[in-house]
Chains A and B, each alone.
Chain A
Amino acid sequence: MMTTRDKSAVWEILERVCDPEIPVITIADLGVLRDVRIHEDGEVEVIITPTYSGCPAMNMIAVEIRLALKAEGIEKVKITTQLSPAWTTDWFSEEGKKKLKQYGIAPPVDASPHVRQLFGQETGIECPQCGSTHTQLLSQFGSTSCKALYQCQDCKEPFDYFKCHR
């Protein structure tokens, strides 16, 4: 039977919760986990922020958080979604970027200024398969809101790019 836990102990539990869409990275790597507050009555409040407004993974993330805490005996949980400050890919951890690449998704790089200009695209995105930077945008909209679809011009492999968002 658990009693009270301090913030860092709760944070350690939550750090192990993985993103349902990209199971190799955690919600802490992603920057979705914002804060933990332990209230006087023992209630644990977890503050999360969505990556994109319509991200359908948010409900699943809330369920995963509850399950992870329950497994450690923490049942009085409140999950609060906070919009501001808005999430950007700057919240992504360096560790998370490495894990993404190993998984086969090109991690976000600093967007070149012309990325939002008409017909502009990010250049120099590294192919996660062969490492070539000779790659081309196929579609700005990919398998999830946060990804764009690219293709390597050397090994010809299409791949997901976690697009820079800020």
Chain B
Amino acid sequence: METAKNKTDQALFNTVLSLADSTLILSHRLSEWCGHGPIIEQDIAMSNIALDLIGEARNFYDYATKLEGAGKTEDDYAYFRESKEYKNALLCEQLNGDFAHTVVRQFFFDCWHIHFLDALRNSPDENLAAIAEKSYMEVSYHIKWSSEWVIRLGDGTEKSKQKMETALKALWPFSGELLEATEDEKILIAVGILPDFETLKTVWLEQVTTILTRATLEVPTGKNTAQTGGKTGRHSEYLSYLLAEMQSVQRAYPGLKW
């Protein structure tokens, strides 16, 4: 019995870290747009979304510190782990590319995020439910933002449509990982702490299809789980560069405070 409990505890810890990492890494990517946005309103929009995501990441890291019970802080997880210890989905670490790439990456992520949080609000795990309840309201603005841009650019000019098609094709193979349960997530789904991923997959595809159709874009063909492994620590080279920049100050001056 005790072994089963330990197994669930470990799975919960790994999964909470994975959720924290995905939101942190995507937040960092979005923050790279700060000062470089196509127009100031969108520069501010991306920074605001980044801020919401970093807030959510902090809530998950904070919960992870309690689960681990080793006296660590949020910063220990964010600044002092190597890329192979990071458990973010590969989609989140993909380069910003052009604005179309950033919009498509955000759109795929938001379509997962909103429905995942919606279901997680009913988790018997009170900490997860509270974090989900808090972030759900914020994410409803994110998905509105990304969906509107998918429609504007897809159903825009010939050039914007072509850029969206390129971005969709490039990011599609990464878009399914968030909904592909890891061994840890399977344990939590079995005990009801996480929602059923199969239902979420259906809802995700429906939403993606609805918006892409409205944007006069085609849903890419091929497996959307061709690229996975991020959630268990297998990353592209992009993550190491991102971490090198994000962690540089704490690596040089450990424990430095503002």
Contact = CB atoms under 8 A, between A and B. Distances in A.
Interface in B193-251: none
Interface stretch (A7-15, A31-39, A53-61): A53-61
A66 B148 CA distance: 43
A19 to B, nearest CB: 17
Contact of A140 (B135, B137, B144): B144
Interface stretch (A40-48, A80-88, A96-104, A122-130): A80-88
A53 B53 CA distance: 8
A165 interface: yes
**Most chain-A CB neighbours within 10 Å: which of B44, B47, B145?**
B44
Contacts of B148: 118-119
A117 B151 CA distance: 13
Interface in B158-204: none
B147 A50 contact: no
A165 B133 CA distance: 12
**Which range contains the number of A residues in contact with the other chain?**
20 to 34
A30 B150 CA distance: 35
A149 interface: yes
Contacts of A143: 44
B45 A141 contact: yes
B109 to A, nearest CB: 16
- Chief secondary structure at chain A's binding surface: loop
A139 interface: yes
B56 interface: yes
A84 B145 contact: no
A165 B137 contact: yes
B135 A141 contact: no
B155 interface: no
B130 A116 contact: no
Contact of A54 (B41, B51, B145): B51
B32 interface: no
B51 to A, nearest CB: 4
A85 B141 CA distance: 20
- Chief secondary structure at chain B's binding surface: helix
B10 to A, nearest CB: 24
A53 B52 contact: yes
B144 A142 contact: no
Interface residues of B, number: 30
Interface string A69-86: 000000000000001111
A54 B58 CA distance: 8
B44 A54 contact: no
A83 B41 contact: no
A53 B58 contact: yes
A138 interface: yes
Nearest to B143: A116
Interface in A106-146: 116-119, 138-143, 145
B65 interface: no
Contacts of A118: 144, 147-148, 151
A113 to B, nearest CB: 13
Contacts of B18: none
B230 to A, nearest CB: 23
B126 A52 contact: no
B146 to A, nearest CB: 11
Contact of B140 (A83, A86, A116): A116
Interface of B: 41, 44-45, 47-49, 51-56, 58-59, 126, 129-131, 133-135, 137-138, 140-141, 144-145, 147-148, 151
Question: Lowest 5 CB-CB distances: which A-B pairs, in order?
Answer: A54-B55, A53-B55, A84-B130, A54-B51, A141-B48
22 contacts: A52-B138, A53-B55, A54-B54, A54-B56, A56-B51, A83-B130, A84-B134, A86-B130, A86-B137, A116-B141, A116-B144, A139-B41, A139-B45, A140-B145, A141-B45, A141-B49, A141-B145, A143-B44, A145-B48, A145-B51, A145-B138, A149-B41
